[in-house]
Structure 1
Amino acid sequence: MATRHEGRQDATGGDAAAAPDATPVRPGPAGSGAAEGRAFIGSFTHAGGRGVTAASVDPATGALAVTGATDAVADPSFLVLGPHGTVLYAVSETEEGTVAAFDTTGPVPRLLSAPVPTGGSGPTHLAWVSGHVVTAHYGSGSVSALPVRPGGSLRQVSGRVQHEGRGPDPERQAGPHAHQVVPAPGGRLLLAADLGTDSVHVHALDPATGTLTPRGEIPLRPGSGPRHLAFHPAGRHVYVLAELTPTLTVCRWDPRGTLVPVGEVPLRPDGGEGGAAYPSGVAVAPDGRFVWAAVRGDDTLAVLAVGGDGERLTPVAHVPCGGRWPRDLTVDREGRRLYVANERSGDVTWFDIDPDTGVPAPSGSVPVPAATCVALG
């Protein structure tokens, strides 16, 4: 399996105290009528993480309160909830590559069945789409699909696509490194950002058979290293985050499967180049007015305003991420708060978003060693 250097050694989580085994679940404010939410946090167990950590979400403040954790799966670096929120899926970012399904109805996630091999090494991302869990593999540079049983557990791999090619960076791009897979609106087409090939691959998923068919490959700037991408809610534009050059590429999306790059925006103030910076995650406001990107090294969140029906991005601000080495970020479904998983400082920080400017202000944090991502229920 190729090693993901990401410009640093793996996190140790040594800067944060371990989270308690159980924290009382906090009820919502009296008379609010708001239901308490759930959050699930991934982490690197090899670096001191506790696996999958569960937390309650205060409906009034967005605050997280840890309810427990499970290390039943090694290095669950990325998580996604199924459509009903009662089953959580986690990749195990290991050489053999597996994915696991957890029941989330209790205070601590519980394995539904033994983890299932993904058919690739080093899976870094997964998505639920059309009755399948689809995984992207950094190590093997491939994408796999696994059918989901009615109860939420997983069947064996039903489809797999192998990427080919390499970029100009001899260390990071010696071969394909599929870093993320995202369903396009409608769920029949998938977009896979590949850091190693400097491109976005488009694959078709057959929901009846679970097979995957390559539909095209869109090249981006050589050496940019596409890592993650996100759709504008209108479905006509895609924002592709480059890890090796701190930029965000705006692309037009044709639902027939065509992606056309139309512009590039720097993610550092004034396009600055001082010191190493490695963008990690991108999130779009539910109303489409703002885009946020996490930048490791700088340890900042870049805020961009969206105009031109999604095609024009204007930098607004760069704010501290609330910790060190922000590996991923998540916006809640109302667009009121951001949650940032800070891997090196070992915590998750949440921010209140200014509804007029999109600028996030830190509101609180909770220790989660070697945190990698946050999935909101």
Structure 2
Amino acid sequence: MTALSRRTFIGAVGAAGAAALVGTPLASAASRPRAASTVYVGSYTNSAPAGHGLDVAQRAAGSPALTQPHTVGKLTDVSWFDRTSDGRTLYVTNENEGSATGTVSALDISDPANPKLLGATSSKGGSPTHLSVHPSQKYVLAANYDSGSVVVLPIKSGGKLGAATDVQQHQGKEPHAHQVLTDPSGKWVLAVDLGTDSVYVYSFDTGNGKLKLHKQITLPAGAGPRHLAFHPNGQFAYVAQELRPEITVASWDAATGAFKPIAVVPAVPAGSTGDLFPGEIAVSKDGKFVYATVRGPNTIATFTVADGGAALKLASSAACGGNWPRHLVLDADEKWFYVSNQKSGTVTWLPRDPATGLPGKSAGSLAVPNVNSVFFV
């Protein structure tokens, strides 16, 4: 990886982590998950302490706890997940720290508890950190952090991936593509680049697997956009800025592919100091709440949504129960948060109050060294 390693550079930028901010009142834990589920957990194998790559855990009906994890062999530096709409094939990024190029692996998950590796394909760039399956179910899109590029990989019969049909190289002093996803309309592909402080909007030809740059939207220098999430109405998006503790609110017009920043909202209370690095961002299904993890104070920031999605307001900053919350996901019922805390090597789960949207205190944890993300199937 380059000197600006996505796993290590943040510690060199800021001072030692600040104390955790005061949590919100405990949400009711009376509601429990309705059914058993399989959960995939990704971790870094090439960082100390070494993670496992891909763990498969179970969540029993009536309990939020992740249990009985087992490791799927031969998978390195697993850091992101997505699956096909039929639920039969899982795709994961393999960052492969220290290698010139990473890979994307395909796994047969017909039996979710026992994934079977179908093969790995070059991402045509260094440290692929994010991927998504295109709605056409014909391609996987991946973002290469180290090389600052976006790659298109065709899905072949049986779920294996073919050689890249396109690679879009971002230009600038130090491009670092961090995310690539399709907008809710299915018409446009958006890529978020931390190094160029930009969001790229591409049109996509599903016939030949080629991207074409439509617009590059530049955010203020040093913002470090990391990930974005759309409001359920498809008219607004929220960008977590990694290098400033802020969320950019943008309007989105799917008819024209117009992405327009309209507001910037702090992700931490006024007066916060020390390391303040947002990680993941998520939106509740009802569109009433936006959530972001903040590394340093190790919090979940909860925002209330107003004006149909156009306005955010920081409502609380609650302790996440671990150190360095890289990723957050809500379960299908949105009754529990699952937070991947990289430095403490724990996945913590916290109840969510369905009325206020606020997280309660951590109710348990699963130990996974250098954990980075959780994916429910």
In the superposition, relative to structure 1, how do residues 246 and 6 fare at CA in structure 2: closer, same or farther (>3 Å)?
farther
Work out whether 1:39 is the aligned partner of 2:50: no
Q: Which of 3, 8, 11 is the aligned partner of 1:8?
A: 11
Aligned pairs for 1:352-367 (under 5 A) are 352-361=351-360, 362-367=362-367
Q: Given that residues 286 and 334 in structure 1 are in contact (C-alpha distance below 8 angstroms), is that contact kept between their aligned partners in structure 2? A: no
Aligned to 2:24: none
Q: Which of 67, 79, 87 is the aligned partner of 1:85?
A: 87
Aligned to 2:16: none
Q: Given that residues 351 and 360 in structure 1 are in contact (C-alpha distance below 8 angstroms), is that contact kept between their aligned partners in structure 2? A: yes
Calculate the aligned-residue CA RMSD, in Å.
1.7
Aligned to 1:15: none
Provide the secondary structure at the position in 2 that maps to 1:274.
coil
Aligned to 1:23: none
In the superposition, relative to structure 1, how do residues 357 and 317 fare at CA in structure 2: closer, same or farther (>3 Å)?
same
Q: Given that residues 67 and 108 in structure 1 are in contact (C-alpha distance below 8 angstroms), is that contact kept between their aligned partners in structure 2? A: no
Distance across 1 between alignment mates of 2:247 and 2:288: 16
Provide the secondary structure at the position in 2 that maps to 1:78.
strand
Q: Report Cα offsets for 1:244-290 as digits up to 9, x if no partner.
A: 001000000010211111101101112x3410111110010011111
Aligned to 1:103: 108
Shift of 1:8: 2.3
Distance across 2 between alignment mates of 1:363 and 1:309: 33
Long gaps (5+) in structure 2? 13-31
Provide the secondary structure at the position in 2 that maps to 1:360.
coil
In the superposition, relative to structure 1, how do residues 147 and 58 fare at CA in structure 2: closer, same or farther (>3 Å)?
same
Matched residue type, 2:229: A
Aligned pairs for 1:234-313 (under 5 A) are 234-255=233-254, 256-270=256-270, 272-313=271-312
Q: Report Cα offsets for 1:134-156 as digits up to 9, x if no partner.
A: 00011110001111123211111
Q: Given that residues 189 and 202 in structure 1 are in contact (C-alpha distance below 8 angstroms), is that contact kept between their aligned partners in structure 2? A: yes
Aligned to 2:27: none
Q: Which of 141, 153, 157 is the aligned partner of 1:150?
A: 157
Aligned to 1:333: 332
Question: How many aligned residue pairs are there?
Answer: 345
Shift of 1:106: 5.0
Q: Normalising to structure 2: TM-score of the pair?
A: 0.88
Q: Given that residues 346 and 367 in structure 1 are in contact (C-alpha distance below 8 angstroms), is that contact kept between their aligned partners in structure 2? A: yes
Work out whether 1:112 is the aligned partner of 2:118: yes
In the superposition, relative to structure 1, how do residues 285 and 91 fare at CA in structure 2: closer, same or farther (>3 Å)?
same
Distance across 2 between alignment mates of 1:213 and 1:282: 27
Aligned to 2:369: 369
Shift of 1:326: 0.7
Distance across 2 between alignment mates of 1:213 and 1:191: 11
Q: Normalising to structure 1: TM-score of the pair?
A: 0.88
Shift of 1:88: 1.5
Shift of 1:184: 0.2
Matched residue type, 2:151: S
- Off by >4 Å, runs of 4+ in structure 1: none
Distance across 1 between alignment mates of 2:129 and 2:188: 19
Distance across 2 between alignment mates of 1:66 and 1:86: 22
Aligned to 1:66: 68
Long gaps (5+) in structure 1? 10-31, 167-174
Q: Given that residues 188 and 206 in structure 1 are in contact (C-alpha distance below 8 angstroms), is that contact kept between their aligned partners in structure 2? A: no
Q: Given that residues 341 and 371 in structure 2 are in contact (C-alpha distance below 8 angstroms), is that contact kept between their aligned partners in structure 1? A: yes
The percentage of aligned residue pairs carrying the same residue is: 40
Shift of 1:325: 0.6
- Report which stretch shifted further, 149-158 or 304-313: 149-158
Q: Given that residues 286 and 333 in structure 1 are in contact (C-alpha distance below 8 angstroms), is that contact kept between their aligned partners in structure 2? A: no
Aligned to 2:222: 223
Provide the secondary structure at the position in 1 that maps to 2:354.
coil
Q: Given that residues 343 and 370 in structure 1 are in contact (C-alpha distance below 8 angstroms), is that contact kept between their aligned partners in structure 2? A: yes
Shift of 1:82: 2.2
Q: Which of 136, 149, 167 is the aligned partner of 2:143?
A: 136
- Report which stretch shifted further, 116-125 or 83-92: 83-92
Q: Report Cα offsets for 1:186-241 as digits up to 9, x if no partner.
A: 32311111001111011122222111111111111111000010000110000001
Matched residue type, 1:109: P
Q: Report Cα offsets for 1:138-181 as digits up to 9, x if no partner.
A: 11100011111232111111111111124xxxxxxxx1100011
